[in-house]
Amino acid sequence: MKRKFNFGAGPATLPLPVLEEVQEEILDWKGLGVSVLEISHRSNDFQEMALQATQDFIDLLSIPDNYCVVFLHGGASLQMSMIPLNFSKRNEVVSYVNSGYWAKKAIDEAENYNKVEISASSEESNFNYFPTQNLWKINSKSNYIHVTPNETIGGVALRSFDKMTIPLIADYSSSILSEPLEVSKFGVIYGGAQKNIGPAGLGFAIIRKDLLEGIKESVPTMLNYSTHQENNSMYNTPPTFAWYVAGKVFRWLKSLGGLKEISKTNLNKATKLYKFIDQSDLYFNNIEESSRSIMNIPFLLRQESLNSKFLDQSVKSDLFALKGHRSVGGMRASIYNAMPEEGIDRLIEFMKAFEKDNL
C-alpha cells in the first residue's frame, strides 16, 4: 500500500512502525486469541500495558515524583472546563494569556465559572506573535494563569518558560513530546493525544500533587481530577485502544533516543521549511520569527486564486491535508514527530515546482 505524507493537524500522522505493530496485533494481542479492542481494562494484561505506557510517558518527560499522570476521555476541550472547576472557586479570579484560537476557547470556558483577566494578548496584531512572559500582567489574587504554548491553527508558540509564583497551567496538545520540557515549572500540563501521542479520544494531564488537595468535593465525579488519579485513570472504562497505541508511540520515541533526539529532528524539519518559504516569491508566513511553531507551519499564497489548484495538485503528489484552518485560510503543514524528513523534502519539491509553473 502506498501511503501519502499526512500533514493534517489532528488526528495526525502516526509512526509507520507503530501502525505496523498495531496491524500485526489487532486480531490476536499477546497470543490471547482476542483483539486488544476486545479485552477488559480490568484484566491483568491491560493493566500491565497501561502501567508501562504511563511509566514510559513519565520517563520521556522526566516527570518529577511530586506530579501524577492521568489519561482520560475528552481531549483538551473537556479539560478547558475541568481546569476552572478543579483549581478555583466560582467567581474567583483566574488569568489567561490570549494567544489565538485555542486560547480563546479556553477563555470562553473559564468565563462560564470565573472572573477571567487577560494577562496578555496578541489579538491586536491578529495573533502574529506570542506574548512572552515579561509582557504578562497578573493579578496577585489569581488562582492560576493559563497558557496555550503552541497554537495549532495560528502557528505561534512559546517554547520556554520561567517559574512563577502562582500555578502555570498549559494546554500542550500540539507540542507535547516534541522537545524536552521542564515539567517542574508548571502546575498542570494537559492536552489531547491526537497530535504527537496517538489516536483521537484520549486526553492526558500531568498534575502537581499538592494542587489536588484543594479540589472541592462538589466537582462532578467524572470532571474531578482526583477521581482519575485515585483510580489510576480507570474509574470508568478508559479509551483502551488509544491508550494501547499511545504506549507504542512512547516506546517508539524511546527507541529514537527520547525527546532530545526528536527535538533535533523537529527543529531541522521546521527550519528547512521556513527557510524555503521565506525565500519564496509565491509563499509567505506572517508570524514573527521568534514566535514560530516548529509543529504547525501555516503559509499563504500571494495569489489566493491559486489556493484550490495548489490543494488539488498537492493531493495528486501524495501530500495530504495541507488546507489551512477556515479562520486563517491558506495552507498549513503540521509536522509532528511522526512526519519523516522525507515528507518535508517532498513538500518543498512540490512547492518549488508549483511556484515555477504559476509565477
Alpha helices in 156-239 (DSSP H): 209-212, 225-230
Domains of the chain (ranges, CATH numbers): 17-256 (3.40.640.10), 258-358 (3.90.1150.10)
* Percentage of residues in the chain having pLDDT higher than 70: 100
So what's the pLDDT on residue 47?
96
Per-residue pLDDT for 359 more than 90? no
Per-residue pLDDT reduced to its tens digit, 309-339: 999 999 999 999 999 999 999 999 999 999 9
Question: Is pTM, for the whole model, over 0.85?
Answer: yes
| Count of C-beta atoms within a 10 Å radius of residue 16 | 12
pLDDT, residue 36, reads: 94
Asked if 336 and 12 touch (Cβ cutoff 8 Å), the reply is: yes
C-alpha cell at position 337: 514527530
Q: Reduced to 3 states, what is the DSSP secondary structure of residue 221?
A: helix
Q: List active site positions.
A: 102, 171, 195
Whether residue 1 is predicted with pLDDT greater than 80 in this model: the reply is no
Ramachandran angles phi, psi of 251, nearest 5°: -65, -35
Summarised one tens digit per residue, pLDDT across range 262-306 is 999 999 999 999 999 999 999 999 999 999 999 999 999 999 999
SS3 111: helix
Indicate the pairing of strand 93-98 with strand 145-147: parallel
Radius of gyration of the chain (CA): 21
Amino acid in the structure at residue 292: R
Q: Write down the mean pLDDT value for the chain.
A: 97
d(CA 67, CA 210): 8
For the cut 90, the answer to whether the pLDDT of residue 6 exceeds it is: yes
β-strand partners of 298: 332
| 12-37 average pLDDT score | 96
What gap in Å lies between CA 26 and CA 161, rounded to an integer? 41
Q: 32-41, pLDDT tens digit by residue?
A: 999 999 999 9
What's the pLDDT at 350? 98
pLDDT at position 217, please?
A: 87
Beta-strand runs (E) in 243-345: 283-284, 296-301, 319-320, 331-334
> Residue 59, Cβ neighbours under 10 Å: how many?
13
